[in-house]
Amino acid sequence: MDKNTLKDGLYAVMHTSKGDIVLALEYKKTPMTVANFVGLAEGSLNKDKPFYDGLKFHRVIANFMIQGGCPYGTGTGGPGYKFGDEFDPSLKHDRAGILSMANSGPGTNGSQFFITHVETPWLDNKHSIFGNVVEGQKVVDSIVQGDTIKKVEILRVGRDAEAFKVTKQSFAAYIVEAEKKQKKAAGEARKNVEAELKNRYPEAISTKTGLRYVVKKKGDGERFPKTGARVKVHYQGSLLDGRIFDSSIQRGEPTEVRIGEVIEGWNEALVTMSVGEERTLIIPPELSYGEMGYPGIIPPNSYLIFEVHLLSF
């Protein structure tokens, strides 16, 4: 690859057993994630030894993506540390050739990455994008499981890219800065959600923990089951956008649960209900599935809306 043919920017040339893949790295939009990749590729984050050289593409799914970066070739390995997610609103999994971090959940990035064959929009805001293919997509499409990364070469074109040097100290600084940005964004998002909930449920009662509820129908049966009691309920759970993720009502069969063994929002609400009562529960993430969410069903940091009808206990 001739640097003179490239626009100013930071690039990675991935020399593989099938040919070269040239990747433009988003060092201005996702600097922490790029610094990790560059530092591993050049060895500054890996005992001065290039991390990716000789590793295999251990996972390839046709018409989806190729994945590499595991030192064991099994998908279970990493560099010996993990770091947080880094998202930029302008970066989407909207085409072939997107370079993104593989992970096992929020905040579990390491050395593994993938490159897409097609657009994969369901991965947005779940996997950190840090580059894209500018040359060699046919090579990406030809790679099969077991093909090898011979070497990852980092190219710096222009003054800004030349100044992007990665040390353990600079990587640590990027992590601190990314965490600050993430906390600020999360705080702003939470304020927006809270405002939306107040408008949507103006009659809701709030508790000290942050749980909100609306009594839709008062119960006339036995009151206040205790922690440890088994209760029979009908319920429906949805996200703020209305998507239903679970419903005993749709299944046509009530569910039995033990108070103390369900999410905290339910535990708190059930002990204050009466048989026959129907409530809408507005549960914040810290009283439900928190930062992890429920993979494939509930996104991280989700508020949940439950319609709950206490039938018996």
Q: Which of 143, 145, 104 is nearest to 127 (CA)?
A: 104
Percent of the chain whose predicted confidence (pLDDT) is above 90: 92
Does residue 295 carry a pLDDT above 90?
no
Alpha carbon of residue 131 to chain centroid: 17
85 plus 220 within the same structural domain: no
Mean pLDDT of 210-234: 97
For residues 23 and 152, membership in a common domain is answered with: yes
Residues 227-233: what's their mean pLDDT? Answer: 98
> Lowest mean pLDDT: which of 230-234, 278-282, 296-300?
296-300
- Is 85 within a domain? yes
Q: What range defines the domain where residue 307 resides?
A: 201-312
- Give the separation between CA 201 and CA 295, rounded to whole angstroms: 28
Q: Are residues 148 and 43 in the same domain?
A: yes
Q: Which DSSP category does 202 fall into?
A: T
Q: Give the count of domains, the chain.
A: 2
pLDDT in tens, 143-188: 999 999 999 999 999 999 999 999 999 999 999 999 999 889 889 9
Q: Decide if pLDDT at 1 tops 80.
A: no
- Domain assignment present for residue 89? The answer is yes
pLDDT tens per residue across span 57-97: 999 999 999 999 999 999 999 999 999 999 999 999 999 99
Unique residue bearing structure tokens 């070497």: 151
- Is 194 inside any structural domain? no
Nearest to 288 by CA among 296, 279, 278, 298: 298
The answer to whether position 192 is within a domain reads no
* Mean of all residue pLDDT scores within the chain: 96
- The 10s digit of each residue's pLDDT in 103-141 is 998 899 999 999 999 999 999 999 999 999 999 999 999
The pLDDT score that the predictor gives to residue 214 is: 98
Q: What is the pLDDT of residue 5?
A: 86
Confidence of residue 300 (pLDDT cuts 50, 70, 90): confident
Residues 128, 87: contact at Cβ < 8 Å? yes
What pLDDT, on a 0 to 100 scale, did the predictor assign at position 123?
A: 96
Please indicate whether residue 236 or residue 182 has the higher confidence score (pLDDT): 236
The catalytic residues are 59, 64, 67, 103, 114, 123, 127
Answer yes or no: do 97 and 223 share one domain: no
Q: Residue 60: which CATH number? A: 2.40.100.10
Q: 0.85 cut: is pTM over it?
A: no
The residue type found at 51 is F
Tokens coding 224: 């206040």
Q: What share of the chain is helix, strand, coil (3-state, %, to 5)?
A: 25, 30, 45
Looking only at the bridges linking them, the beta strands covering 98-101 and 113-116 are antiparallel
Q: Under a CB-based contact definition with an 8 Å cutoff, are residues 162 and 58 in contact?
A: no
Residue 108 lies in a domain: yes
Task: Judge if 152 and 209 occupy the same domain.
Answer: no
Residue 242: give its domain's CATH number: 3.10.50.40
Is 245 found in the same domain as 103?
no
pLDDT at 296: 83
